[in-house]
Amino acid sequence: MSHTVNHTHDPRLRSWVKSSNPGQTDFPIQNLPFGVFKRRSNDDAPRVGVAIGDQILDVRACDKANLFEGEAKAAAAACESLSLNKLMSLGEDEWSGLRSRLSLLLREDNNEVEHHKQIIENHLVPMTEAEMLMPVEIGDYTDFYASLYHATNVGSMFRPDNPLLPNYKYVPIGYHGRASSVVVSGTGVKRPHGQTQTNEGEPPTFAPSKLLDYEMEVGFFVGPGNKLGEPVAIERAAQHIFGLCLVNDWSARDIQRWEYQPLGPFLAKSFATTISPWVVTMEALAPFRTEAFARTAGDPAPLAYLQSPTDQEQGGIDLTLEVCLASRQMREADIPPALLTRGNFRDMYWTIAQILTHHASNGCNLRTGDLIASGTVSGSSKESRGCLLELTWRGTEPVQLPGGETRRFLQDGDEVIMRGYCERAGFARIAFGECRGMVLQADGV
Amino acid sequence: MSHTVNHTHDPRLRSWVKSSNPGQTDFPIQNLPFGVFKRRSNDDAPRVGVAIGDQILDVRACDKANLFEGEAKAAAAACESLSLNKLMSLGEDEWSGLRSRLSLLLREDNNEVEHHKQIIENHLVPMTEAEMLMPVEIGDYTDFYASLYHATNVGSMFRPDNPLLPNYKYVPIGYHGRASSVVVSGTGVKRPHGQTQTNEGEPPTFAPSKLLDYEMEVGFFVGPGNKLGEPVAIERAAQHIFGLCLVNDWSARDIQRWEYQPLGPFLAKSFATTISPWVVTMEALAPFRTEAFARTAGDPAPLAYLQSPTDQEQGGIDLTLEVCLASRQMREADIPPALLTRGNFRDMYWTIAQILTHHASNGCNLRTGDLIASGTVSGSSKESRGCLLELTWRGTEPVQLPGGETRRFLQDGDEVIMRGYCERAGFARIAFGECRGMVLQADGV
């Protein structure tokens, strides 16, 4: 796995798109994430775009204007699609070629730009005029459990004597999620009904969940897949990863508690999973790669198929994650969203390469567009706990909201806003935009 | 849910396709299951077909020859596709219209047939000349655990004091499976590698699974879906079910045992799931509907959202299931496959309507083509145990094969053959064909 920092990361680069100056935006020229949008104003078809400042560049339109050639051309042609899947299926050379060319076309100190600038400007759509759509057709969605802190916290609530199961430090634990109910940021999330048991030994009731939670996660999208029966060596894992998004894996803790034995979480999760609309490429993230989680002295080494010196050195990603909450009352009182959680993706016990390689280690075929999420990202400190279950310790320590409210779990009207950003001295800050969702009242209440 | 027995079930019906006489075939005119095939002889595109005797009727070709009208025409037009999904998306009226028209075109005592017979004969493809393909594009695959006998057997091996968990008789337990690795009958299944722990407390090793198993299941395909956030009342569940297939949910018991806590089975299952190529419609199964599983006196009633008098009366399906095994040694000695398991789908604790309604009860959107499997079908007797784990009681009671071999779990070269059939006095026997898969040697062994 190599993460070469190249000219597209140069912090001195500026775009002639003025709103994209580093520090003013999540989307400077060093980022260039991909998404799918349509104009709000008409019955526009979905199209692939790249974020730059507060604008979206229509890649297909630029291709039709003959602004690409070579690998960039092949990648741009793959953007003539209703999703990112075709682009993601190509591979690192094409992705890098397209990103490099986009960087060139958008930078201000480039003579070629003067020639093309008018054309490109015609194909910039202000984000305020665009609706962001699901960026990817997801075949399978898998969710992991890769934070040792999260696993230990949750384990100690439910199994105080035995918080961490014996397999945890050997197996990147994961489970299949529900692909159909993955929705894009901004989609309302209706509080689910489900079976819950109030008192042990008593019959359950079927009612709206009372213990609704968010889970702050990071997801990656599979680029080229692997064939059924053909595992992916960890040294080649990076070639199969296109980029990252933010994931809110909404969870109904009361439903989960009653249903999850012996086959794992099911309806407690499958009512909705929200992802951010912009997919940040692995190339854009290259400057923020960092060493993998530092295992403590007593920890076992990963089994050989999960070991790679390069992955150990730079399998981590220094990506700060935040969750804010805005209640209905706060919105009505013009109180800005309150920060609940701030954590970092580098705190995960397993790297994304280990996760991908493990997933395919039995020959399971990963397909272009599959979404693989990390599991809740929690760190060692209280403020870095990535869900309310942990933050409020099962509701026993409610969080205070500005305006006087408290929260054990989510209430109707609560909007959960996730953000993610990468910062490093000597590099431009890049970020993921937002992953938002508001809790809507359950049916028939 | 209504299961009207209509003229297409008349046991006196005979087709002019001679090989389809009841008793001689799985596919008499009373069955007419749908599948996707291509001719072996050329680079034919996949096309939708209907099984009749030892022939496959090419539905698209018949449509082009103007043999359909009305609802049958709409359904036949939906067969101009590479999968059954479009047909499945339509609904009961169109499915029934097409099936009724096909029945009319294929029956021998019909004057209209003389007029069309030559045309239809031109569009019959012998099964020996056809390759059966995946019939459906599966969005999500879900696997349930709906046999009380299976759950109790497995539970008593792993938790002797507490075999059946307290939620079992309230919750149709299920979990998300892997859609990408669902394959059609005849596909080889490579023995997966995975982490297993030989002795408790010792580190695991990564090696080919030693405890490979089959699981005899029945799957149903979702017809029209439901929107996210909109559950399906149990009275309407049947409208969302197109038909059934056989499912072999291959399982690596040693991988499963080590990985499954706390999130459920993952790589122990995701290396392959085999389905039969023919989808038997719910209409064809109508004569074989029977009452739901008889709960014993102490059992709780299902919660209200899972209760329906009609489902109670005819939610079951009298479908006999068999698993045969042919080892390499047996094939070389010309010994026919040996019967290992014979069970019946009516023995499931939960009906398919309850399963579908529960799945969507949190608002989870089911999509056309989703595959929902029952879980291992086991009955009360030893010979009806639907997997080797149960049959050999974790390997402690090996099964004898003709030719002198024994099996605790599957060996390389073993071919597992599942069959399913429905028999009832006064009705023609219908069957599912075969669901086959051979265990192939692991890589690098």
Determine whether the interchain pair A174/B261 forms a contact, defined as Cβ–Cβ distance below 8 Å: no
* Contact B206/A at CB under 8 A: yes
* Contact A173/B at CB under 8 A: yes
- State which amino acid sits at residue B103: S
B240 is an active site residue? no
The dihedral through the CA atoms of A79, A81, A82, A83 has a sign that is negative
Q: Nearest CA of chain A to the CA of B178: how many Å?
A: 7
How much of chain A is in helix, strand and coil states, percent to nearest 5? Answer: 25, 25, 45
Q: Residue A138: which of A371, A435, A375, A374 has the closest Cα?
A: A371
Question: What beta strand segments (E) does A280-319 contain?
Answer: 280-281, 289-290, 316-317
The dihedral through the CA atoms of B389, B390, B394, B397 has a sign that is negative
- State which amino acid sits at residue A172: P
Q: In this complex, which of A167, A263, A359 lies closest to B145 when CB atoms are compared?
A: A263
Which residue among the candidates B123, B150, B240, B359 is catalytic per the annotation?
B150
Determine whether the interchain pair A264/B267 forms a contact, defined as Cβ–Cβ distance below 8 Å: no
Contact B318, B424 (CB under 8 A): yes
Structure confidence at residue B2 (pLDDT): 52
Q: Is B204 left (phi over 0), alpha (psi -120 to 50) or beta?
A: beta
Q: What residues in A contact B195, CB-CB < 8 Å?
A: 167, 170-171, 303
Q: In this complex, which of A261, A267, A366 lies closest to B165 when CB atoms are compared?
A: A261
Q: How far apart are CA A248 and CA A253, in angstroms?
A: 14
Structure confidence at residue A2 (pLDDT): 53
Contact A241, A356 (CB under 8 A): yes
Structure confidence at residue B67 (pLDDT): 94
pTM above 0.90, yes or no: yes
Cis before B262? omega within 30: yes
Determine whether the interchain pair A165/B262 forms a contact, defined as Cβ–Cβ distance below 8 Å: yes
Per-residue pLDDT of chain A (445 residues; tens, 9 = 90+): 456 889 999 999 999 999 999 888 999 999 999 999 999 887 789 999 999 999 999 999 999 999 999 889 999 999 999 999 999 999 999 999 999 999 999 999 887 777 788 999 999 999 999 999 999 999 999 999 999 999 999 999 988 888 999 999 999 999 999 999 999 999 999 999 999 999 999 999 999 999 999 999 999 999 999 999 999 999 999 999 999 999 999 999 999 999 999 999 999 999 999 999 999 999 999 999 999 999 998 999 999 999 999 999 999 999 999 999 999 999 999 999 999 999 999 999 999 999 999 999 999 999 999 999 999 999 999 999 999 999 999 999 999 999 999 999 999 999 999 999 999 999 999 999 999 999 999 998 6
Structure tokens at B58: 């090419």
User: Which neighbouring-strand residues pair with B273?
Assistant: B182
Distances, alpha carbon B334 to alpha carbons B327, B337, B435, in Å? 10, 9, 21
Nearest-5° Cα angle at A438, A352 to A412: 125
Q: What residues in A contact B263, CB-CB < 8 Å?
A: 145, 173-175, 264-265
Say what percent of chain B tops pLDDT 70: 99
Neighbours of A297 (CB within 10 A): 4
Contact B250, B271 (CB under 8 A): yes
Contact B358, B172 (CB under 8 A): yes
Q: In this complex, which of B170, B181, B258 lies closest to A167 when CB atoms are compared?
A: B258
Structure tokens at A190: 């209706």
Question: pLDDT tens-digit profile of A226-278?
Answer: 999 999 999 999 999 999 999 999 999 999 999 999 999 999 999 999 999 99
Q: Could you give the 3-state DSSP secondary structure of residue A45?
A: coil
Interface test with A, best of B362, B371, B374, B438 (most A CBs within 10 A): B362
- State which amino acid sits at residue A59: V
Q: How far apart are CA A313 and CA A294, in angstroms?
A: 10
Q: What residues in A contact B173, CB-CB < 8 Å?
A: 259, 262-263, 266
Distances, alpha carbon A139 to alpha carbons A142, A179, A367, B369, in Å? 10, 7, 7, 13
Q: Could you give the 3-state DSSP secondary structure of residue A335?
A: coil
Contacts of B302 (CB under 8 A, 6+ apart): B170, B354
Q: How far apart are CA B54 and CA B37, in angstroms?
A: 14
Q: What is the CA radius of gyration of chain B?
A: 22
Q: Residue A1: which of A177, A262, A253, A239 has the closest Cα?
A: A239
Q: What residues in A contact B186, CB-CB < 8 Å?
A: none
Structure confidence at residue B230 (pLDDT): 98
Structure confidence at residue B1 (pLDDT): 42
Active-site positions of A read: 150
Contact A243, A221 (CB under 8 A): yes
Structure tokens at A208: 């709206």
Task: State phi, psi for A377 to the nearest 5 degrees.
Answer: -90, 110
Q: Could you give the 3-state DSSP secondary structure of residue A417?
A: strand
Distances, alpha carbon B328 to alpha carbons B32, B104, B216, B337, B403, in Å? 34, 44, 21, 10, 11
User: For residue B226, what is the nearest residue in chain A, using CA coordinates?
Assistant: A180
Structure confidence at residue B110 (pLDDT): 81
Residue ranges for chain B with pLDDT beneath 50: 1
Nearest-5° Cα angle at B53, B52 to B58: 35
Structure confidence at residue A22 (pLDDT): 82
Structure confidence at residue A160 (pLDDT): 87
Determine whether the interchain pair B195/A265 forms a contact, defined as Cβ–Cβ distance below 8 Å: no
Strands B34-39 and B47-52: antiparallel
User: Which neighbouring-strand residues pair with A273?
Assistant: A182
What stretches of A80-178 show up as alpha helix (H) in DSSP? Answer: 85-90, 92-106, 111-122, 148-158
Task: State phi, psi for A378 to the nearest 5 degrees.
Answer: -125, 150
The number of CA neighbours under 13 Å toward the Cβ of B310 is 12
Question: pLDDT tens-digit profile of B223-257?
Answer: 999 999 999 999 999 999 999 999 999 999 999 99
Structure tokens at A93: 């050379």
Q: How far apart are CA B237 and CA B243, in angstroms?
A: 12
Q: Residue B103: which of B6, B209, B239 has the closest Cα?
A: B6
- State which amino acid sits at residue B115: H
Listed by number, the residues of chain A in 236-255 with a beta carbon closer than 8 Å to a beta carbon of chain B are 252, 255
